[in-house]
Amino acid sequence: MRSLTTAATGMFAQQLNIDVIANNIANVTTTGFKRSRSEFADLLYQDQRRVGTQSSDTATIVPAGVQIGVGVKAVAVYRINEQGSLIPTDNPLDIAIKGRGYLQVTLPDGTTAYTRDGALRLANDGTLVTADGFAIVPNITVPNNATDITINGNGQVEVTIPGQVAPTLLGQIQLATFINDAGMQQSGDNLLLETEASGGPTTGNPGAVGFGLLQQNFLEQSNVNMVSEMTDLIAAQRAYEINSKVIQASDDMMATVTNIR
């Protein structure tokens, strides 16, 4: 019976759906996290009577054939890049991105990764780094005698040096954008990598056309909506249960056939 394998594909699909929802809920407090959505497509169909064929020698056409589907498959886990809420932290090294763009960081192997997590720190040499110690691009180093640090909306980093009236400009934080953000590869640790699907990065200063602004003393929350996730979780659970009922009903029907005397 096709229904056995068809319902099994439905159970596998809803299991994947719940895995994605569980990851969203688990990261509800992860800085800069973007929720994901499972996307599915129907499998191939088996033609028992092909639509459009001739049904007689007078060229009459079958208006609707008989096609039986064999289930569902996962085709994508799509990342939704809508803006998360900004929360104040009163930490001058925390920056949130309002709008499009990613911070650029240098990994130990020399490649560039991208992140929305603006919880920056100072390394032992004063370099601005992420929580894992990866330096941002371009590198910015804060002097040891700096008493105050300011990061404006356009990414300019300035510090106050004792004995100097005017603040000292240390550098400019730049952002990167991609034509297909959803095509970037998630590598964990709040980092994303460039892929063929995402296209190459376009870099520019915050506030320029097509780039967001920076907000000092704030961090971007995840864009996970708990009410929506719980609703999706209930729907996925019910769909899983109904598919299991189809398998049980198919098994009962087969048992009935085998018991006929």
pLDDT confidence of residue 49: 80
Distance of CA 259 to the CA centre of its chain: 51
Given a cut of 80, whether residue 57 has pLDDT beyond it is no
Average pLDDT of the chain? 92
Mean pLDDT of 107-123: 95
Does this model's pTM top 0.95? My answer is no
SS (H, E, C) 176-215: EECCCHHHCEEEECCEEECCCCCCCCEEECCCCCCCCEEE
Given a cut of 90, whether residue 14 has pLDDT beyond it is yes
What is the residue whose two structure tokens read 């039986």? Answer: 68
Given a cut of 90, whether residue 46 has pLDDT beyond it is no
H/E element holding 78?
Answer: strand 72-79
Is residue 156 very low, low, confident or very high in pLDDT (cuts 50, 70, 90)?
Answer: very high
Domain edges within the chain: 2-81+224-258, 86-220
pLDDT confidence of residue 93: 94
H/E element holding 243?
Answer: helix 226-258
Which residues lie below 8 Å from residue 186, measured CB to CB, with a gap of 6+? 79, 192
